[in-house]
Amino acid sequence: MPVYSAPMENIKFILHDVLGAESLTEIPGFEEATPDLVDQILEEGAKICESVLFPLNQSGDEESCIFKDGDVTTPKGFKEAYDEFTQGGWCGVSADPEYGGMGLPMLVNTVMQEMICSANFSFGMYPGLSQGAYEALHHFGTPEQKQTYLPKLVTGEWSGTMCLTEPHCGTDLGLIRSKAVSNDDGSFNITGTKIFISAGEHDLTSNIIHLVLARLPDAPEGVKGISLFVVPKFLPEDMSRNPINCGSIEHKMGIKASSTCVMNLEEAKGWLVGKPHKGLKAMFVMMNAARLGVAMQGLGIAEVSYQNALAYAKDRLQMRALDGAKSPDKPADPIIVHPDVRRMLLTSKAFCEGGRALSYWVGMNLDISLHHPDSDKKQEADDLVQLLTPILKAYQTDMGFEVSSLAMQVHGGHGYIAEYGVEQYTRDARIAMIYEGTNGIQALDLVGRKMGAHMGRYLRRFFHPVSQFIEENQTNADLQEFIFPLAKSFAKLQQSTAIIAQKGLKDPVEAGAASVDYLRQFALVAMGYMWIQMAKVAQEKVAEGADNKKFYDSKIKTAQFFFARMLPESDWHFKAIMSGKDSLMSLEEGEF
C-alpha cells in the first residue's frame, strides 16, 4: 500500500529559516499571518490531506468518474471528502475576506497545493480550477458578478472551470470558433464546443461556473478578437438549467478521478467578463495561476513518489552491499545500500527539497506583487513571478514525471503493478507536462516573451540577487564547494542568454531551437541558488548547536549531491544551445 506524510519539517524550514516568510506580516492585511498561525493552519491542512484525501487516491483511480445521460459521478467517497474539505474553509485560504475568504497569503495556499497534489492529484483538480475562476472574476468581473459568484466559489458551494480548448485548436487560441451573440438584457447567447475541460461536470457542487472564451460577431481575427464570458450551469437568478452540457468524458492515462469533459454550448446564456475582445488578458490571469498550480502538481507528485521509493528501499532486501554486509542478521541487505538506488533516491530528494524552496520563493513574491504598499517592490516581485512561472511549470512537471518513474524503478517489478501504487503516480504525473501550455510552449514563452521583456528587466530580477549572493559569499570558507560551481553555471547561463538574444533577433528559429535547453539550464541554476541558501542556513544551524543536527546535516549532504551530480547537467544544455539550430532544422521533411 502507498504511504504519504506531509513533509512539515521541510516546509517549516523553508518558510521560516530560508525565506523568512514572516516578513509578509509587514504587508497590510497580512498582519495576523504569523509563523505560529501559519504553522497551525498548515498542520491542519496536512491532517486532511493525509487522513481524508490520500486514502481515496488509489480507489479513485480504480473506480474513475462515470458518465451517464449527461451527468458525471465522481468515485466513492469524493463527495464526502469534498464536503469536509469545503467545511474546513480550504477553498478560501487566500481569498479576499470581503467575499468570505481567510485572506491569508498566497504562499499558504501554495503549500496547501503541494500537499493536496501529493495526497490526491485528481481531487486537487476540482478546487484548483475553482481558484482560477475566482482569480479571473476577482480581477475582471463587474461588482455584480463578484457579489454573485465569488462568495459561492470561496465556500466551495459552487466550483469553476476554464473553457478554452476546442476540437480544432489548443495552444493557438486565435482559431477559436465559439460564437457569442448579444441579447437585449445585456447577456449573450454562446454556442460552441469545448474539449479537455477539467471538472466541467461532476456531482461535488450545486453549480458549476464556466469561464468561456468566444467571439463576438464583430470580433477581429486571431487572438485580438477573443472575449471572456461567465456561463453558469444553473442561472443564479432562478437556478434554471443553462444549455451548457457535458457530451462525454475522456478515458485517460491518469488523473482518472478528475472529470475531463467535452462541453457543448447551445445558445447558453453568459455575461461578458472584462472588455469586448480582451478576453485573453483575463484568461491569462487564470492561466498564470493555473501554471503555478501545475508546477505544484509536479512537486506534489514527486514528493509522494519519493516517499514511497524511500520506504520501499529501506524495507526491500536484495543482495549484499558491495563493500560487505550491512545487515548481517538478515538474509540480504535493504536495497538502500546500493549506489544506483541511492542515486535515484538522492535525485528525487534533491529535486523535491530544492523545488519546494524555489516554489515557495515564487509564492512569496506573488504575495508581494499583489499586496505590497510600495509600488516598486510590487513591480520587482511581479517581474520575478512572470519570469519564473514558465520555468517552474516546465521543470517541475518534467521532474515530477522523472521522479515518479524513478520511484517505479526503485520498486522494480513491484513498481509496475497496481498494488504498490507508484505506477499510478507515473500515469498521473504525465499530463502536467502537457496541459496549461505544453512544456515546449513554456520554453518558447521564456525566450520569446520573458527574456526580452522591458529590455531585460525580468531577467535582472533574478540575475541581480544571484550575482549579489555570489559576491557576498565568495570568501565564505564553508561555502566554497557550492559557491564556485554556482558561479560557473551562472556565468554560462548569462552567456547563453546573450547568445540567444543576439541570434534570436536575426533568426527566431535559433531562439526556438535553444528554448528547451535554455529553460532547463535556467531551472538548474535557480535550483542551485536555492540549494546554496539552504546549505548556508543549515551550516549556521549546526554551528549554533541546533537540536536537530541530523536534519541539517542531511540538508548539507543533499546540497553536495545536487552540486556534484545534478547542477553539471546545465553544462550540456549550454553546449546544446551553443551548437545552434542546424542539427535540428537541416533535415528535410521527407528525410524523417
Please, what sign has the CA dihedral across residues 516, 519, 525, 526?
negative
Which helix (H) or strand (E) segment is 145 a member of?
helix 143-155
Cα–Cα distances (Å) from 356 to 3, 125, 296, 382, 469, in that order, read 20, 20, 9, 19, 20
Is residue 28 packed enough to be buried (19+ CB in 10 Å), middle (13-18) or exposed (0-12)?
Answer: exposed
Identify whether the C-beta of residue 141 lies closer than 8 Å to the C-beta of residue 149: yes
Identify whether the C-beta of residue 552 lies closer than 8 Å to the C-beta of residue 541: yes
102: its cell numbers: 481567510
Report the amino acid identity of residue 176.
I
Report the amino acid identity of residue 309.
A
Which helix (H) or strand (E) segment is 482 a member of?
helix 480-506
Q: Which one, of 350, 224, 327, lies nearest residue 281 by Cα?
A: 224
Report the amino acid identity of residue 163.
C
What is the distance between the alpha carbons of residues 490 and 66, in angstroms, rounded to a whole number? Answer: 50
For residues 384, 390, 396, 398, the Cα torsion angle rounded to the nearest 10 degrees is -160
Identify whether the C-beta of residue 261 lies closer than 8 Å to the C-beta of residue 72: yes
Report the amino acid identity of residue 123.
F
Identify whether the C-beta of residue 350 lies closer than 8 Å to the C-beta of residue 403: no
Please, what sign has the CA dihedral across residues 67, 70, 74, 80?
negative
DSSP result, 72-125 = EEPPTTHHHHHHHHHHTTGGGTTS-GGGT-----HHHHHHHHHHHHHH-HHHHH
Residues 6+ apart with CB under 8 A from 121: 57, 254, 255, 258, 297, 300, 301, 428, 429
User: Residues in the chain, how many?
Assistant: 592
Report the amino acid identity of residue 114.
E
Three-state DSSP at 289 gives helix
**Per-residue 3-state assignment (H helix, E strand, C coil) for 310-354:** HHHHHHCECCCCCCCCCCCCCCCCEHHHCHHHHHHHHHHHHHHHH
Report the amino acid identity of residue 390.
P
What is the distance between the alpha carbons of residues 533 and 524, in angstroms, rounded to a whole number? Answer: 14
Which residue has 520575478 as its cell numbers? 384
Which of 201, 353, 402, 436 is catalytic? The answer is: 436
436 catalytic? Reply is yes
Cα–Cα distances (Å) from 106 to 113, 351, 362, in that order, read 10, 22, 10
132: its cell numbers: 482560477
The region, left, alpha or beta by phi > 0 then psi within -120 to 50, assigned to residue 191 is beta
What is the distance between the alpha carbons of residues 121 and 421, in angstroms, rounded to a whole number? Answer: 13
Q: Which one, of 417, 401, 504, 412, lies nearest residue 452 by Cα?
A: 504
Which residues are part of the catalytic machinery? Answer: 436
